[in-house]
Structure 1
């Protein structure tokens, strides 16, 4: 069995590696050669934590496995990231455990890759202003990945705790872009692309705050009850997702579906756009929304990349198990 500890991942896998792996797995899903198993995600009644499992199988790459972990909101005070996870890969022919890979950095990278892919395929080509809602640990990964997809000229941002926006300002400054902390009305009025990456259980952004032609990547809702944007906003958008079953049960779409504002049949897998089966954005004025629920196949794809690179570089830790 191969072990890739958390502290080794950063030296092995790049954001571009993750973007390529996630894009390929989205396409495999659209071709029905890869699928996710039902998600288990529950409050455990300890440390206010959410814990669960995501698993799946890709018949094309033979990636089989699961990610176990969740969200511990008090970890920051312990010097740890709030998201904690480990990825397990299994041999598809024998069922033996092939690898155990630290999943914290990979989760941040694959989540950022997913929203970046949605921007690549759905945002207007002339998008100039990027809006960020949320300034937690994953926000900087989101911002860096997004800035590679369009020639953005400005970053505007809002967070529940404004003092945390400095981390996004630093990323913008590193890229030579002006940065402005704004309220949500101004963020919606200025932004061509909006990324939301919060842990909110109540809508933050409203339909009236979003202008025509905006692309939204809603990346924080991955649990029943969570919600980042108003259901009415989902209703006026052309909606895309990583996995339709997850979108309507634990994703941003859950609330709009429950209220009958949209139906499951109107949601489009992003893989269909990547593969050319769907044309994506229909007009410059259309609002597009990507419901990024976070899927096991993303985790398995990026963990497989980490294992392959570790083997190629001769740095993999191998043990009998």
Structure 2
């Protein structure tokens, strides 16, 4: 078995690598060449979450599981709140083949999924990027979005506004003007990325203008919620996996309220694979419900292992 430690990931997997790996995985899912297993998610108390996401990608020859979760006390200890590891197995024999540090990979694959949705669904003339949330993953989201559209400005809101200057520094690195705004001004954005761990909606339908694309990336557990259910009723909704979207994703609330049904949601992989239409008009609101699927983790972990082997950096152990 090969071990690829967390400290090596930044030099092995780029944002572009993650984008390509996740896009290929989404297409394989749409072609029914890959599928995710049911998510296991447990609350440990005091805001801590732990769980498992896993799947099989026959096209990519990948079988594995990501184990990890959210530990809000970690920041005070100098560690990321999100902690995870990815384990890969030979799909023919079940033999363990790799253990890969999953913290940075999680941020990269989440940002890649958001960027894929922007690339495929946002208007080509999108100029203003709205960011709702300014935590650890927000910087990755901002950089990934800027790779697929030529934005001219970034506006942002966070429940704790003192966190916004760090996100502003990222915008400055990208050469983009940055402004902290109240949520009501998100109506000025052409693309909005939500990346929070909120238990209640913050972004309302009235905050979103016609023609906007939203990438809702924070809701991945029952009870989490970033946007008002009425917004999904106004939008054409896409997701990474419909089964997760309606149970643990942003769509769970709109479905529970009877505003949309699972049949109303389109897998983004179907758009990538050319099996479904994306944006249908300039005025249409499109919304990507990014729940985060296990196959995304396997795809980026596989990329890390291949690169580590190429550079002779993978650590071999007997199991």
Structure-2-length-normalised TM-score = 0.99
Does 2:80 match 1:81?
A: yes
TM-aligned CA deviation for residue 243 of structure 1? 0.4
Does 2:32 match 1:35?
A: no
Q: Deviations over 1:178-222 (max 9, x none)?
A: 1000000012x2100000000001001001111000000000000
Partner of 2:156: 157
How many residue pairs get aligned? The number is 319
Partner-residue secondary structure (3-state), 1:212? coil
C-alpha distance in 2, partners of 1:33/1:149?
Answer: 27
TM-aligned CA deviation for residue 255 of structure 1? 0.4
C-alpha distance in 2, partners of 1:287/1:121?
Answer: 13
Does 2:179 match 1:183?
A: no
TM-aligned CA deviation for residue 48 of structure 1? 2.9
Alignment of 1:200-211 (within 5 A): 200-211=198-209
C-alpha distance in 1, partners of 2:303/2:220?
Answer: 24
Partner of 2:255: 257
Alignment of 1:90-169 (within 5 A): 90-169=89-168
C-alpha distance in 2, partners of 1:206/1:228?
Answer: 9
Moved >4 Å (runs of 4+): none
Partner of 1:17: 17
Partner-residue secondary structure (3-state), 1:87? strand
Partner of 1:313: 311
TM-aligned CA deviation for residue 52 of structure 1? 0.3
C-alpha distance in 2, partners of 1:249/1:119?
Answer: 23
TM-aligned CA deviation for residue 135 of structure 1? 0.3
C-alpha distance in 1, partners of 2:265/2:175?
Answer: 37
Runs (5+) with no aligned partner, structure 1: none
Partner of 1:212: 210
TM-aligned CA deviation for residue 28 of structure 1? 0.2
